[in-house]
Structure 1
Amino acid sequence: VSVLYWQPAIDSNAHRAIAALMRGEGEAAAETWLRSSRQHLPPATIVVSACLLGQPVSWRGGAARPRLPVQALRNLESRCPWLLRLAGVCPELVLGVPRPPIRMLQSGAVVTRGGGNVTETLANSCKSLVSVRGGVLQVATDATWYPVDGCVLKRRSPACALIDGRSYAHPETLTEFHESPGVFAQHIQRLGAETDEWARLGPLPMADERSLATFPLAAEGSHDATSGAVSFVLAVLQRCDAR
């Protein structure tokens, strides 16, 4: 599974307004303009690895180190919940916190460091979080299902990695592996590819916490640490509106 991007047509006014909100420049005017332009539209929903949102769900019981682009998304959601919804998920949470680290195997199995097979448990967890409902890929959050408009997932995670998870030849031989999407990322891509929505609109905007900073940038304007996140939000909103 490769990482594919929904490439937005740039709306200059929306770009400037979102950039202003993320950078703290003229927020009031930007928020007023965005509200008026989206008053009849629902908020877009982004699936985000819960550890990136500061939730202590990693196998060690901690959260991921905060990164500015992800924090910019959190700030935007906090200020404009009518614009953006971040759905924090952790498919590994079903295994407990803390928990033994898991490993993907090239056979398709997923095992714990101690050798326990958690393939089916993790697959069921993925299905409980993201599923196709009414022909649309949706995520469960707060006991409600919402259409998915984009994803920001944890890099190098055996569950969430978009491209750089490790798939091992043998459970106890850590020197033989190739890079692979994590099982949750594979689940999202596999389900999405089967929907009419993806056939019509193409794949979702997807990034990890690193590539979010350099998500395909608009040609106009100055670029800073939040520029990739601005472009990502534009792509997500346009995907949401096109649906």
Structure 2
Amino acid sequence: MKRVLVSSCLLGEPVRYDGGAFEPTHPVLARWLREGRVLPCCPEVAGGLPVPRPPAEIAGGADGGEVLAGRARILDPAGRDLTAPFLAGAAATLDLARAGGAVLAVLKEGSPSCGSAAIHDGAFSGVRVPGQGVAAARLRAAGIPVFSERQWEAAAACLEALES
């Protein structure tokens, strides 16, 4: 059976930067949980960051691909460089996906780790811009499709196609 990597915060685990989580209510997720397909992950915790932790954003309007290439950094509001734990978490997430047989991922949109199509602008303004987080970029570079929590049906269709 093919497995799906899912952000732990989307499974109700309180691992978000603010210690929060989201209730796992989507029917696709509920089915995958029943089937034993879900492989939980939190790249930021896997990278050694605590819960709670200060918010972090990719600086300068860059995205996760640029962080992976060494052209951008991840900072907290005080200007502390958190790039190393984010890179470590992205690597650990890819290792987990490979070891667990995950063929796709559903990750939390907006996160500097998990955003698949949108991240924050790097100025801590609350503004979202097009881009992907570091873990999402790392997974995609390895050929693993990444979806957001707004794309459960598309993720299910992708899984079905991969299984046929």
TM-score, length-scaled by structure 2: 0.79
Pair 1:90-2:30 in alignment: no
How far residue 49 of structure 1 moved from its aligned partner, in angstroms, is 0.7
What is the aligned partner in structure 1 of residue 116 from structure 2? 162
After TM superposition, the structure 1 = structure 2 runs for residues 29-178 of structure 1, keeping only pairs within 5 Å, are 43-64=1-22, 66=23, 68-69=25-26, 72-81=27-36, 85-93=37-45, 94-105=48-59, 106=62, 107-131=71-95, 139=97, 145-168=99-122, 174=125, 178=129
List runs of 5+ in structure 2 lacking aligned partners. 63-70
After TM superposition, the structure 1 = structure 2 runs for residues 161-200 of structure 1, keeping only pairs within 5 Å, are 161-168=115-122, 174=125, 178-192=129-143
Structure 1 segments (4+ residues) deviating >3 Å: 173-178
Distance 1:114 1:240, change over 3 A: farther
How far residue 175 of structure 1 moved from its aligned partner, in angstroms, is 8.1
SS in structure 2 of the partner of residue 174 of structure 1: coil
Greater Cα radius of gyration, structure 1 or 2: 1
Contact 1:49–1:154 (CA<8 Å) still a contact in 2? Answer: yes
What is the aligned partner in structure 2 of residue 235 from structure 1? 158
- How many residues were matched structurally? 152
What is the rounded CA distance, in whole Å, between the counterparts of 2:156 and 2:2 in structure 1? Answer: 9
The one-letter code matched in structure 1 to 2:41 is V
The one-letter code matched in structure 2 to 1:79 is R
SS in structure 1 of the partner of residue 115 of structure 2: coil
What is the rounded CA distance, in whole Å, between the counterparts of 1:48 and 1:178 in structure 2? Answer: 22
What is the rounded CA distance, in whole Å, between the counterparts of 2:72 and 2:20 in structure 1? Answer: 27
The one-letter code matched in structure 2 to 1:184 is A
What is the rounded CA distance, in whole Å, between the counterparts of 1:62 and 1:209 in structure 2? Answer: 16
The one-letter code matched in structure 2 to 1:212 is W
Q: Which has the higher strand share?
A: 1
- Give the superposed CA RMSD: 2.5
TM-score, length-scaled by structure 1: 0.55
Alignment counterpart, residue 207 of structure 1, candidates 128, 138, 147: 147
What is the rounded CA distance, in whole Å, between the counterparts of 1:80 and 1:163 in structure 2? Answer: 28
